[in-house]
Structure 1
Amino acid sequence: MAKLIYMNNISLDGYMEDERGTFAWLPIDDEVFAFHTECLRPVGTFLYGRCLYEAMAVWETDPALAARSDLMADFAGVWQGASKVVYSTTLTGVSTADTRIERRFDPAAVRGLKATASSDLMVGGANLAAQAFKAGLLDECELFILPIVVGGGKPGLPPGMRAKLELLEERRFGNGVVHLRYRPLGR
């Protein structure tokens, strides 16, 4: 059975976006960017909320991004090679290949997708990830902890939810970023 993984970049105080809704403060250098790409390489399907899908679609719709460097071209290729499921009640169409829209997050359908998938799935977007967490669907949680405190914004993990996690792996990067990979316990 394929794993469902949640991966996110968060500030030291736990936010994925600051109070203005931006994440331009991310100190992602080549080492971290290449590691992100390696984490995504085994993913066959991305499950996205609308906002994250629209932010990520540029990796297919803007060829100038991939042309900037070999690292960016590799990331674009990995991202484009995966299927995408976008959960949205308002989106009327998609701008990327191999992408479909679902109107609501259905835990039973995601369980079925996990059971039949030949490669891992990744859930992105805080609201969608919270639904997957609460439904007991997550197999792993990968966090990139960034050496910055932003003081508020959108939490990177679901507020008001308790979960015990087992640390599977950790990695420190030269720019102060720490990658932590966990498995939820007690599911």
Structure 2
Amino acid sequence: MARLQYTTICSLDGYIADADGAFDWAEPDPEVHAFVNDLERPVGTYLYGRRTYETMAVWQTIGGPEHPAVENDYAEVWRAADKVVYSTTLDDVSTPRTRLERSVDPAAVRQLTDQAPRDVGIGGATLAVTLLRAGVVDDLRQFLHPVVVGGGTRALPDGVRLDLELVEERRFASGVVYLHHRRR
């Protein structure tokens, strides 16, 4: 059965971007990147908000000997998945296997996940907030970076309570810590 998974890279104080919108501190090193690649292989569909989609669409064109093998691998994983982009401002999408939706319907997302042959991944905190508030997210996967940014875009929303169980953890040489929690 497919699971709806929110995976985020965030600072130790819980932000995906700092107050200026920068997230250069979050770039994964090769060890973390390879782990992410393996973690994302089971994902058959990504759900994105506009900003995250525009950031991730670069993976459609990355590839070749000028890029590290770990990046080429992730590009293949990304291109193999379907994408759903939720946006009221985009006129169209620029990547194959991608469809545009004008509004987020948590019940439709739950139905998509329940009928999917592979896991469904949520990309982007704004979209994740909507789905976390609706109670349809199955798994939270965080890559905590050893940096405190002091403000910005939060990875998790205020005002939502989730009872979770820790199902996996891993520490990387860079100091990044991976935590995988599942809803009870």
Q: Same fold (TM over 0.5)?
A: yes
Q: How many residues align?
A: 184
TM-score normalised per structure 2: 0.96
CA-atom RMSD in angstroms: 1.3
Identity of aligned residues (%): 51
1:31 aligns with 2:31: yes
8 A contact 1:27–1:146 mirrored in 2: no
CA distance in structure 1 between the partners assigned to 2:49 and 2:69 by the alignment: 28
Which residue of structure 1 lines up, in the alignment, with residue 177 of structure 2?
178
1:114 aligns with 2:113: yes
CA distance in structure 2 between the partners assigned to 1:122 and 1:24 by the alignment: 22
Residue deviations 1:13-63 (CA, integer Å, cap 9, x gap): 110000110100125210000001111100000000000000000000x33
Q: CA deviation at 1:158?
A: 1.2
CA distance 1:170–1:118, change in 2 (3 Å): same
Q: CA deviation at 1:160?
A: 2.2
The residue type equivalent to 1:139 in the other structure is D
Which residue of structure 2 lines up, in the alignment, with residue 52 of structure 1?
52
8 A contact 2:6–2:122 mirrored in 1: yes
Q: CA deviation at 1:66?
A: 7.5
TM-score normalised per structure 1: 0.94
CA distance in structure 2 between the partners assigned to 1:150 and 1:107 by the alignment: 31
Instruction: Give the 4+ runs in structure 1 shifted more than 6 A.
Output: none
Q: CA deviation at 1:110?
A: 1.0
CA distance in structure 2 between the partners assigned to 1:123 and 1:12 by the alignment: 20
Which residue of structure 2 lines up, in the alignment, with residue 143 of structure 1?
142
Which residue of structure 1 lines up, in the alignment, with residue 4 of structure 2?
4
CA distance in structure 2 between the partners assigned to 1:3 and 1:121 by the alignment: 6
CA distance in structure 2 between the partners assigned to 1:63 and 1:152 by the alignment: 31
Residue deviations 1:53-92 (CA, integer Å, cap 9, x gap): 00000000x3358841111110000000000000000111
SS of structure 2 residue aligned to 1:112 = helix
CA distance in structure 2 between the partners assigned to 1:135 and 1:66 by the alignment: 43
CA distance 1:20–1:145, change in 2 (3 Å): same
Q: CA deviation at 1:124?
A: 1.2
SS of structure 2 residue aligned to 1:25 = helix
CA distance in structure 1 between the partners assigned to 2:157 and 2:114 by the alignment: 25
Which residue of structure 2 lines up, in the alignment, with residue 133 of structure 1?
132
CA distance in structure 2 between the partners assigned to 1:128 and 1:66 by the alignment: 34
CA distance 1:136–1:114, change in 2 (3 Å): same
What are the ranges of 5 or more consecutive residues in structure 1 without an aligned counterpart? none
1:123 aligns with 2:157: no
- Greater mean alpha carbon deviation, residues 123-132 or residues 62-71: 62-71
Which residue of structure 1 lines up, in the alignment, with residue 94 of structure 2?
95
CA distance in structure 2 between the partners assigned to 1:65 and 1:21 by the alignment: 30
CA distance in structure 1 between the partners assigned to 2:64 and 2:43 by the alignment: 21
SS of structure 2 residue aligned to 1:56 = helix
CA distance 1:141–1:41, change in 2 (3 Å): same
Which residue of structure 1 lines up, in the alignment, with residue 76 of structure 2?
77
8 A contact 1:59–1:65 mirrored in 2: no
1:18 aligns with 2:18: yes
